[in-house]
A and B are shown apart, each in its own frame.
Chain A
Amino acid sequence: MVKVGVLGLQGAIREHVKALETKEAEIVVVKRIEQLDDLDGLVLPGGESTTMRRLINQYGFLEPLKAFAAEKPIFGTCAGLILLAERIDGMEESHIGVMNVKAKRNAFGRQRESFEAPLSVVGLEEPFIGVFIRAPYIEEVGEGVEVLATFNDKVVAARDGRFLACAYHPELTDDDRMHQLFIDMVLEFKKEGLATE
């Protein structure tokens, strides 16, 4: 059994918890830094990335999150993808900045352009309904990054080692296969970690 946290500062926290609850995992909503200590993996939920970053700064979460990322798997959705990206279009600095991609914020437009569409995702047999809300996409993919899904030639899901990110919101659907992908990554990573110890 693994222990997975959902960063609980702002956004669609409840939905991620609900999707993860059906899995072989203990779920923690992380509101304080010390709650990161004994987690095997962390989910960065969708929300407003600007707001989340303000709250991360205010509570001194940035360094602990970077330290966590140096060791453990993280799954970011929408705003979570922005937090993970090493490079962000139009911004000088990244946030956690651990995933070798360049992200573009609100890349599909404003709310009236928000949409849902079936996606073909590497590793999933049936199409996955992607719900895109003022969503970003991945503009450039660095070395070692596996593209998992595209929409109209834009990269909308990718994996870079222990980091998984998607531009859409799997937590807003009843389909928990993206969450299962992440739990599998966490399990795999934990097993490898134990083997090398």
Chain B
Amino acid sequence: MNQQTGTDRVKRGMAEMQKGGVIMDVVNAEQAKIAEEAGAVAVMALERVPSDIRAAGGVARMADPTIVEEVVNAVSIPVMAKCRIGHIVEARVLESMGVDYIDESEVLTPVDEEYHLDKRKYTVPFVCGARNLGEALRRVGEGAAMLRTKGEPGTGNVVEAVRHQRLIQSQIRKISSMSEDELMTEAKNLQAPFELLLQIKELGRLPVVNFAAGGIATPADAALMMELGSDGVFVGSGIFKSDNPEKFAKAIVEATTHYQDYELIAKISKNLGIAMPGIEISSLQPTERMQERGW
């Protein structure tokens, strides 16, 4: 029979199934099981969580395949993994291992400062980070099937994710209210593909799922990002750098599902223990800002 893999519908559809959920960074099988047990919709297999990458410095690369394999074998929920921006071979290696989604991520050190991956060529779907609508649509143009805010990873400070999500949402609203003859100029201003602007105008939203990521540290942070129009959240260092990962993971999942139930969020936020230590963004040197990686 006429069977097609890797179509846009199959790649974007996979992200649709993750909506309303939490995707958690894990560094081994044990953490992956905790995440699955807590109700994560997927896990991101890494060698180190972003805050440790930040602390270690140096070049951050794709995780050791042993870790990815260990996580794939440990859980039945989908497994994602990160490759460096522009690293064709890391992406192909992860694809060959059966990873369900690849994050072409600014958390790792880019290998190509000019070109992102041509993500249309892969069977595996990709998620990419963005700070604004132009960047988001350039990634979709390259074939990303899912988006997320960049935020500022590994800081436990959600301010940048808020900035990015607010900006993207307001830029979508602007396009929705523009007339079609204004869209080419807007495409020029945003440096984004014209056809995608037409689609946004028609749909009133992005053509792919858009999660929040970068600095989410508490249940209230996760709920805030949902309130601002995110389809779901990624939590990197926030869970396994907290005092009580099991409790934190469950509470963040619950706050994401019921983001407007404030009594419930109050209840689940009680006695959670200490969240991961945060970093004030202005204390970072410009070169330490991961969100500046990629364009």
**A116: chain B residues within 8 A (beta carbon):** 3-4, 7, 9-10
**A78: chain B residues within 8 A (beta carbon):** 17
Say yes or no: A54-B9 contact (C-beta < 8 A), given A111-B100, A117-B3. Answer: no
* Cβ-defined contact, A111 with B124, below 8 A: yes
Interface size on B, residues (CB 8 A): 38
**B7: chain A residues within 8 A (beta carbon):** 115-116
A157 to chain B, nearest CB (A): 15
* Cβ-defined contact, B100 with A48, below 8 A: no
Give complex CA distance A111, B5 in Å. 9
Could you say which of A11-19, A20-28, A179-187 contacts chain B? A11-19
Q: Is B20 located at the chain interface by the 8 A CB criterion?
A: yes
* Cβ-defined contact, A51 with B78, below 8 A: no
Give complex CA distance A13, B21 in Å. 12
B233 to chain A, nearest CB (A): 12
Give complex CA distance A110, B6 in Å. 12
Chain B 95-135 interface residues, beta-carbon cutoff 8 Å to A:
95, 98, 100-101, 123-125
Could you say which of B37-45, B57-65, B270-278 contacts chain A? B37-45
Q: Is A169 located at the chain interface by the 8 A CB criterion?
A: yes
**A12: chain B residues within 8 A (beta carbon):** 13, 16-17, 19
Q: Is B169 located at the chain interface by the 8 A CB criterion?
A: no
Chain A 87-125 interface residues, beta-carbon cutoff 8 Å to B:
105-106, 110-118
Q: Is A47 located at the chain interface by the 8 A CB criterion?
A: yes
* Interface residue from A11, A15, A54, A118 paired with B39 (Cβ < 8 Å): A54
* Interface residue from A9, A46, A112 paired with B17 (Cβ < 8 Å): A46
* Interface residue from B1, B6, B124 paired with A151 (Cβ < 8 Å): B1
Interface size on A, residues (CB 8 A): 39
* Cβ-defined contact, B14 with A133, below 8 A: yes
* Interface residue from B10, B13, B19, B101 paired with A10 (Cβ < 8 Å): B19
Say yes or no: A133-B76 contact (C-beta < 8 A), given A58-B254, A116-B4, A151-B1. Answer: no
Give complex CA distance A73, B4 in Å. 32
Chain B 76-101 interface residues, beta-carbon cutoff 8 Å to A:
76-78, 95, 98, 100-101
Give complex CA distance A12, B19 in Å. 7
**B123: chain A residues within 8 A (beta carbon):** 112
Chain A 136-173 interface residues, beta-carbon cutoff 8 Å to B:
151-152, 169, 172-173
Give complex CA distance A107, B165 in Å. 36
* Interface residue from B1, B42, B76 paired with A118 (Cβ < 8 Å): B1
**A115: chain B residues within 8 A (beta carbon):** 3-5, 7, 10
**A67: chain B residues within 8 A (beta carbon):** none
B208 to chain A, nearest CB (A): 13
Give complex CA distance A181, B124 in Å. 33
Instruction: Tell me the A residues contacting B by CB distance below 8 Å.
Output: 8-15, 31, 46-48, 50-51, 54-55, 58, 78-79, 105-106, 110-118, 131-134, 151-152, 169, 172-173
The 7 A-B residue pairs with the shortest CB-CB distance, nearest first, are: A111-B100, A54-B39, A10-B20, A117-B3, A48-B41, A172-B13, A115-B5
